[in-house]
């Protein structure tokens, strides 16, 4: 008995007629240059149209690396574009208005975020987060803030998690509110400046203390490094003031 393979053959043809290109681009700045252009070239699609469409879709993600998937119909050259989401850390930095997280997140806080901003990030990343509901997803984003030295509603992360668990922000989370008032944005900017000033003041105090220790051990850098560490001076500053001596072969 012969089987009718026509349906199967049609499915194979459809699959073969589709080509996909996946890459990372900076939001709003796709060009025909590598990596996108050379990857699209062999497909015969209109690269200019693809670039324009990608830039429209990623205009709000400027400064971030965004996953992009372009699917091209090999016969008609029509295309569709899927935009992925940047990593949670990149979205947090965008909301906080910072270039990078804290070098010493336990002591140096670089920014403060409102719960609305965390809800916004959680909703953007919801398909890739593990939480069963929006509240759980918000807590995942809050957890990422911890390693970046970012406060939540003016609180350290451990305290913020307790407040979320206690239901303090349930109403806002349930409403899905993501926008801040101009006054709230201004408050956050002022708080960020204050945090920066605190970091600079604390660094100056550490440097002054480290230099005093160096004077005591002018010819004994190892002892100086040890005492600086015992005094609670961050390793980054210790390395700047008293770099470790390199042994033969380039090893420390």
Residues 53-110 pLDDT 10s: 999 988 878 888 889 999 999 889 999 999 888 889 999 999 999 999 998 898 899 9
Average pLDDT over residues 215-237: 92
Cis peptide before 35 (omega within 30 of 0): yes
Residue 167 vs residues 22, 126, 162: alpha-carbon distances, Å: 41, 20, 9
Tokens of 141: 């984003």
Tokens of 24: 């990372």
Asked if 60 contacts 71 with a C-beta cutoff of 8 angstroms, the reply is no
Domain limits, the chain: 12-83, 88-180, 199-241
Give the pLDDT band (50/70/90) at residue 252. Answer: low
Enumerate residues 6+ apart whose C-beta is below 8 A from 19. 43, 71, 72, 74
Domain covering 88-180 assigned CATH 1.10.10.250 in the classification: yes
Enumerate residues 6+ apart whose C-beta is below 8 A from 231. 209, 210, 213
What are the residue ranges of helices labelled H in 100-133? 115-124
The answer to whether residue 12 scores a pLDDT higher than 50 is no
Top CATH class of 12-83 equals alpha beta
Q: What is the model's pLDDT at position 203?
A: 94
């Amino acid at each position: 008995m012969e089987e009718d393979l026509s349906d199967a053959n049609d499915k194979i043809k459809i699959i073969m007629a589709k080509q996909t290109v996946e890459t990372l681009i900076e939001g709003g700045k796709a060009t025909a240059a590598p990596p996108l252009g050379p990857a699209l070239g062999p497909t015969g699609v209109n690269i200019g149209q693809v670039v324009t469409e990608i830039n429209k879709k990623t205009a709000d993600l400027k400064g971030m690396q965004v996953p992009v998937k372009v699917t091209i119909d090999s016969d008609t050259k029509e295309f569709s574009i899927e935009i992925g989401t940047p990593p949670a850390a990149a979205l947090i930095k965008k909301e906080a208005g910072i270039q990078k997280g804290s070098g010493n997140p336990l002591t140096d806080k670089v920014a403060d975020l409102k719960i609305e901003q965390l809800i916004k990030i959680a909703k953007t990343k919801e398909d890739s987060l593990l939480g069963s509901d929006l509240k759980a997803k918000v807590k995942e984003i809050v957890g990422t803030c911890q390693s970046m030295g970012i406060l939540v509603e003016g609180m350290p992360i451990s305290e913020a998690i307790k407040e979320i668990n206690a239901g303090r922000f349930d109403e806002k989370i349930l409403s899905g509110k993501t926008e801040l008032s101009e006054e709230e944005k201004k408050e956050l900017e002022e708080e960020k400046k204050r945090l920066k000033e605190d970091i600079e003041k604390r660094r100056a105090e550490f440097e002054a203390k480290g230099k005093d220790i160096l004077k005591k051990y002018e010819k004994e850098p190892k002892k100086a490094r040890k005492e600086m560490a015992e005094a609670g001076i961050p390793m980054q500053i210790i390395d700047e003031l008293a770099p470790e001596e390199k042994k033969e072969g380039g090893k420390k």
